[in-house]
A and B are shown apart, each in its own frame.
Chain A
Amino acid sequence: MDKPDTGWIERETRRAHSDLPEIWTLLDSVCDPEIPVLSLFDLGVLHDIRQLGGCIKVSITPTYSGCPALETMRDDILKTLSQAGFEDAQVEVCLSPVWSSNWMSPEGRRKLKDYGIAPPMKHCRAGDTPDAGIGCPFCGSHNTARLSEFGATACKAMFTCADCKETFDFFKNI
């Protein structure tokens, strides 16, 4: 198996050393509104959680500049915290460091594939999408071809499998 990406390892370490493990666990229930099997932590959008005075400060980072899900994510985080009794909370959007599909957790990659979306490749330049060979999430074949670099959301490209004939989404490398 490939070694996990350093971006993911950094995020895992930050969570492991946090003083607020219960908040991280609580926010595991907040998922990407477009891909509801993927928590914001799995996706890499949930960057950090800190406590300043009595206020919980959650920092999130946008995936694509135009991703309209960001505001829903912010609302969902605040709602989840509020329902658990954390009324004093803020969500800040941080632009740096820039989100990368390499930040996705190994668990997130597995869930994505089970959901029918091919996870991003381990080694691919950000912004590039191969024209063939992405593993089909349905039958596992690599005998696949790109239909379009663009899909139903900014983060996905469309592929088709020559073996099982299914069309599937590929989560792009960025």
Chain B
Amino acid sequence: MNETTHNEHLIEYVKRLADDALILGHRISEWCSHAPFLEEDIALANVALDYIGRSRLYYQYAAALIGDDTSEDDLAYMRDQRDFHNLLIVELPRGNFAYSMVRQLIMDAYNTEYLDALRHSRDTTLAAIAEKASKETRYHLRRSRDWILRLGDGTPESHDKTQAALEELWGYTHELFDLDPVETALLEAGIAVDTPALKARWLSTISTTLEAATLTLPEDDWAVRGGRTGYHTENLGHLLTDMQSVHRAYPGQQW
């Protein structure tokens, strides 16, 4: 592989990681001032901030790799939905509280494995970001796991809502473990994470938690894919309209 192709692959890979973190961070931030009680509101705002901060580290790195005058803000606020290559699961609307917590359990358990592997990347910037983010992910996972136990093993209503959320989200989890040619090439270069190899441990965390929460692991009978190639659900466009509006109305403005 020549150097230009390698660089293009790396930029694409870093932007994907940034998009995943930004879009999920934005979705969590939508709970701010809407959470069920004050401590939970603060917790969700903190978790959102961790994800958005992580996305900034990735976008800053992507901007540096692109090399011209591109900034992190250009990448976050000036691209359209087809240019975002995030996983579909992160763009789905926040839904009810159980739905948001099930998504967090899925993503926090995934990030625990993903970042632990990325810490060993041959790319030293990605390894450093992963080292920092993996420490934060420990308390994210502890929190989302506690919520699933409480909701699943709570009242019949909370149990049913949590089980329904699992059924609605499960088909979006398969995309988390795909590898496309970009990732395969970077995996061979010792940079990207081997996502199929993470699935067994991820599934074990999820199954153990669901079992303790008296919930049932859904069947693998449907799957939706497309985020990595820019084919999104209708939800991403609405999210971007909201998230990018201020920057697009006042491009280049500073606080």
A binds B: yes
B43 touches A150 (CB 8 A): yes
B136 touches A127 (CB 8 A): yes
A129 touches B50 (CB 8 A): no
Selected A-B contacts with CB under 8 Å, 11 pairs? A62-B53, A64-B136, A65-B136, A66-B50, A66-B56, A95-B128, A98-B128, A148-B43, A150-B47, A152-B42, A154-B46
Task: Indicate if A31 sits at the interface (CB-CB under 8 A).
Answer: no
A66 touches B128 (CB 8 A): no
A149 touches B43 (CB 8 A): yes
Interfacial chain B residues near A125, Cβ < 8 Å: 138
The residue in A65, A99, A150 that gathers the most chain B C-beta atoms within 10 A of its C-beta is A65
- Which chain B residues numbered 29 to 69 have a C-beta less than 8 Å away from chain A? 39, 42-43, 46-54, 56-57
A95 touches B57 (CB 8 A): yes
User: How far is it, in angstroms, between the C-alpha of A65 and the C-alpha of B58 when the chains are bound?
Assistant: 11
B139 touches A154 (CB 8 A): no
> When the two chains form the complex, which single residue of B43, B49, B137, B142 contacts A66, counting CB atoms closer than 8 Å?
B49
User: How far is it, in angstroms, between the C-alpha of A67 and the C-alpha of B49 when the chains are bound?
Assistant: 8
- Which chain B residues numbered 128 to 157 have a C-beta less than 8 Å away from chain A? 128-129, 131-133, 135-139, 142-143
Interfacial chain A residues near B57, Cβ < 8 Å: 65, 95
Task: Indicate if B204 sits at the interface (CB-CB under 8 A).
Answer: no
| Chain A residue at minimal CB-CB distance from B54 | A65
Closest CB in chain B relative to A43 CB, distance in Å: 16
A96 touches B52 (CB 8 A): no
Question: 19 additional contacts, CB 8 Å, given A64-B50, A96-B124?
Answer: A64-B53, A64-B136, A65-B133, A66-B46, A67-B53, A68-B49, A95-B125, A95-B128, A95-B129, A95-B132, A96-B128, A96-B131, A99-B132, A126-B138, A129-B139, A150-B39, A152-B42, A154-B50, A174-B136
User: How far is it, in angstroms, between the C-alpha of A126 and the C-alpha of B42 when the chains are bound?
Assistant: 21
Task: Indicate if A106 sits at the interface (CB-CB under 8 A).
Answer: no
> When the two chains form the complex, which single residue of A65, A68, A99, A148 contacts B42, counting CB atoms closer than 8 Å?
A148
Q: Is the interface of A mostly helix, strand, loop or mixed?
A: loop
Interfacial chain B residues near A174, Cβ < 8 Å: 135-136
| Chain B residue at minimal CB-CB distance from A96 | B128
Closest CB in chain B relative to A42 CB, distance in Å: 20
Task: Indicate if A56 sits at the interface (CB-CB under 8 A).
Answer: no
The residue in A148, A158, A172 that gathers the most chain B C-beta atoms within 10 A of its C-beta is A148
Closest CB in chain B relative to A147 CB, distance in Å: 7
User: How far is it, in angstroms, between the C-alpha of A38 and the C-alpha of B135 when the chains are bound?
Assistant: 23
A-B pairs, top 3 by smallest CB distance, nearest first, are A66-B53, A127-B138, A66-B49
Closest CB in chain A relative to B116 CB, distance in Å: 12
Task: Indicate if A2 sits at the interface (CB-CB under 8 A).
Answer: no
Task: Indicate if A7 sits at the interface (CB-CB under 8 A).
Answer: no
Given contacts A65-B57, A154-B46, A154-B49, contact A128 B139 (CB under 8 A): yes
Query: A143-162: contact bitstring with B at CB < 8 Å (1 yes, 0 no)?
Result: 00001111110100010000
> When the two chains form the complex, which single residue of B56, B124, B135 contacts A127, counting CB atoms closer than 8 Å?
B135
- Which chain A residues numbered 15 to 62 have a C-beta less than 8 Å away from chain B? 62
Closest CB in chain A relative to B38 CB, distance in Å: 9
| Chain A residue at minimal CB-CB distance from B61 | A95
A66 touches B52 (CB 8 A): yes
User: How far is it, in angstroms, between the C-alpha of A64 and the C-alpha of B142 when the chains are bound?
Assistant: 18
A126 touches B135 (CB 8 A): yes
- Which chain A residues numbered 92 to 118 have a C-beta less than 8 Å away from chain B? 95-96, 98-99
